[in-house]
């Protein structure tokens, strides 16, 4: 009954990435959850609108790689909380133009400040070069194959 095997789970990238992602999300998640009652998809949508301005759900899905049902639900909740407005497009009446309200923008700016602080705090653990390399590698990993969630 030899049970010593030599596979290091801690180095297996899908596992390791999930652990790191979960851990690094925690503190930030607590803020948007406790403070704004938001879910992960919701802050993602909020941030996309904050950063890029007016977008359709489709645009967000393409950029964030989120499935349309997730976005649909996030948009509903954000609209309920008066964080975004929705206007049917005249050019194509299937799609809706989404935009932050003043309240939404405030929430976004607030969360963005916290995100920036989090990012800055990483500077104490990693050098600028390390961080840049990490980001570069993660982007390569993230972009690899087209996972069509649209």
Rg over CA atoms, the chain: 19
Size of the site for its own copies (CB under 8 A): 57
DSSP single-letter state for residue 4: -
Q: Which positions ≥6 away from 95 have C-beta within 8 Å?
A: 56, 57, 58, 88, 89
Q: Which of 37, 54, 103, 117 binds its own copies (CB under 8 A)?
A: 54
Kindly identify the residues of this chain, within the stretch 56-95, that bind DNA according to CB under 7 A: 56-58, 61, 67-73, 75-76, 86, 92-95
Angle at 108 between CA 33 and CA 104, to 5 degrees: 95
Kindly identify the residues of this chain, within the stretch 105-124, that bind its own copies according to CB under 8 A: 112, 115-116, 118-119, 122
Query: What does the alpha-carbon distance between residue 58 and residue 62 come to, in Å, rounded to a whole number?
Result: 6
Is residue 52 part of the contact set for its own copies (CB under 8 A)? yes
Residue with tokens 């050098």: 127
Q: How far is the CB of 136 from its own copies (least distance, A)?
A: 9
State the residues that interact with its own copies by CB under 8 A. Answer: 1, 3-5, 7, 9-29, 44, 47-48, 50-54, 65, 112, 115-116, 118-119, 122, 125-126, 130, 133-135, 137-145, 147
């Amino acid at each position: 009954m030899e049970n010593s095997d030599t596979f290091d789970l801690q180095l297996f990238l899908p596992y390791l990435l999930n652990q790191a992602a979960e851990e690094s999300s925690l503190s930030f998640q607590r803020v948007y959850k406790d403070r704004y009652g938001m879910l992960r998809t919701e802050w993602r949508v909020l941030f996309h609108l904050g950063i890029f301005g007016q977008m359709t759900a489709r645009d967000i899905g393409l950029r964030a790689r989120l499935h349309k049902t997730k976005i649909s639900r996030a948009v509903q909740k954000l609209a309920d909380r008066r964080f975004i407005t929705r206007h049917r497009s005249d050019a194509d009446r299937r799609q809706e133009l989404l935009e932050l309200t003043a309240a939404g923008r405030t929430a976004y700016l607030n969360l963005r400040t916290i995100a920036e602080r989090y990012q800055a705090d990483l500077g104490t653990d990693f050098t600028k070069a390390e961080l840049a390399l990490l980001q570069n590698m993660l982007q390569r990993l993230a972009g690899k194959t087209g996972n069509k969630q649209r």
